[in-house]
Structure 1
Amino acid sequence: MKDNRSGYQKTWDLLQELIESMKKTDRQMEETDRQVNKVSKDIDKFKESIQESMKESIKEADRRMEGTDRQINKVSKSIDKLKKTVGGIGNSNGYVAEDLFYNSLKKNMSIGNITFDFIDRNMERTHKGLTDEFDIILTNSNLLVIVEVKYNYHPNDVEAVLKKIKNFRKLFPLYNDYKVFGAIAGLTMSPKTINLAKKYGFFVLAQEGNKLKILNDNVSEYLNTDQLKTDIKQIKP
């Protein structure tokens, strides 16, 4: 069929179609923008929700941590209190043991058939940076016994008496010419402790009721620090 429209009319019609197409495209773009804005708002809401949830979770975790810290501090204080209590008991037991042996030796002033003129307790001295304290010292005119006391004498404590003798020689040169002997004294001690003290040649003293009991009097004299070093090498198990 022949198109009778003039060229102008055809152009105008095409222009109208183009305008309608552009309007339709604009409407579609506006709808797309609305959809994008809606999705963007939904994302923002979701993001805010997540952030709020995370804040609450962090706050809850902080509250739990605070509670845990309080529990840890409470337990730590309880442990410190227990340590002080146990330490106090240990110190008290040590003092009781020392008091018993000191009073027994003070009353008799003898160990076996050896008699003494003087007894000293907790002798302490410092010289040239060296400081040491000695539980009980018994002396006569030419002989000296260093007595170290423990409530419960462990084998690991026995060798320390050798160090005490060595330090005594350095701190009290007035007694250089004296015969020096070591002794351990304990309210309780294992057979291993007793046997080790015998190997070192120490007196071994115990309490039986209110009386002093001598478990070993086969002792060795310690003349000087050189001999101490030799004896440690020979006797140390």
Structure 2
Amino acid sequence: MATTSEEVWRILGELAEAQKETERRFQETEQRFQKTDELLKQRFQETERLMRRQNQQFNEQLGKLGNRLGEFVEWQVRPVVVRLFQERGIAVHEFYPGASAQRDGEGIEIDLLVVNSTEAILVEVKSKLTQTDVDEHLERLSKFKRLMPRYGDVHAMGAVAGMVVPDEVARYAYRQGLFVMAQSGDSVVILNDATFQPRRW
């Protein structure tokens, strides 16, 4: 059966319409994909923002907890610090929490300053003591008399205290000539042995 030219044109027209319909549907699908992609990007950005905010809040809470732990350790050390050093033959009788000074653009902060008329012990208190804490305390000791000249004639010594004191950090502080104080049960003790000779500044 022969195909007339009209039928050929009709078939070509139908094919052209079908192609247009296919292109239209393809464009609709592409637009849906683009909208879905944009929506996914927005959701991802919102989730990322939320995670950053939650992470920041977590870090803030962790920092506050660390500070509270440090305060807790300091409150444990305060009542016994004078007695512990007296038992070591250092006749201190006064202590000042949170001593600080500013001079010539420099500052110093001391968690506990334990003194008598001839000796001073600067105590740094941490929830978990690190070697960096020890090094920073050594630097603090080196500035002490210059920034707090009223103690210029005393023999200054250093001590570090912590709820957690790793063995290697305790050994490092000991070798630097510092007293090392740590929690033992419900109390605080000085870990240094009887032969220990503190460094004096």
Which category of TM-score, normalised to the shorter sequence, fits these structures?
A: 0.7 to 0.9
Tell me the secondary structure at the aligned position of residue 153 of structure 2.
coil
Write the letter of the residue equivalent to 2:140: K
Partner residue, 2:200: 221
Partner residue, 1:157: 133
Aligned pair 1:65/2:22, yes or no?
no
- Rate the CA distance shift 1:213–1:108 in 2: closer, same or farther, 3 A: closer
Partner residue, 1:10: none
Question: Which whole-Å CA distance do the structure 2 matches of 1:221 and 1:106 have between them?
Answer: 18
1:190: Cα distance to partner? 1.8
Moved more, 125-134 or 135-144: 125-134
Using structure 1 for the length normalisation, give the TM-score.
0.70
Question: Which whole-Å CA distance do the structure 1 matches of 2:72 and 2:149 have between them?
Answer: 31
Aligned pair 1:183/2:162, yes or no?
no
Assess if the C-alpha contact under 8 Å between 2:95 and 2:112 holds in 1. yes
Task: Determine which structure has the larger helix proportion and give its number.
Answer: 1
Write the letter of the residue equivalent to 1:157: D
Higher RCO (C-alpha under 8 Å, 6+ residues apart) = 2
Indicate the RMSD between aligned Cα atoms, in angstroms. Answer: 2.8
Tell me the secondary structure at the aligned position of residue 114 of structure 1.
coil
1:215: Cα distance to partner? 1.6
Identity %: 21
- Rate the CA distance shift 1:36–1:129 in 2: closer, same or farther, 3 A: farther
Partner residue, 2:108: 132
1:82: Cα distance to partner? 2.2
| Structure index of larger Rg | 1
The count of aligned residue pairs is: 194
Moved more, 43-52 or 57-66: 43-52
Partner residue, 1:195: 171
Partner residue, 1:81: 57
- Rate the CA distance shift 1:108–1:155 in 2: closer, same or farther, 3 A: closer
Using structure 2 for the length normalisation, give the TM-score.
0.81
Note the residue ranges of structure 1 that are not aligned, 5 or more in a row.
1-27, 223-237
Assess if the C-alpha contact under 8 Å between 1:112 and 1:214 holds in 2. no
Question: Which whole-Å CA distance do the structure 2 matches of 1:60 and 1:187 have between them?
Answer: 53
Note the residue ranges of structure 2 that are not aligned, 5 or more in a row.
none
Question: Which whole-Å CA distance do the structure 2 matches of 1:55 and 1:207 have between them?
Answer: 66
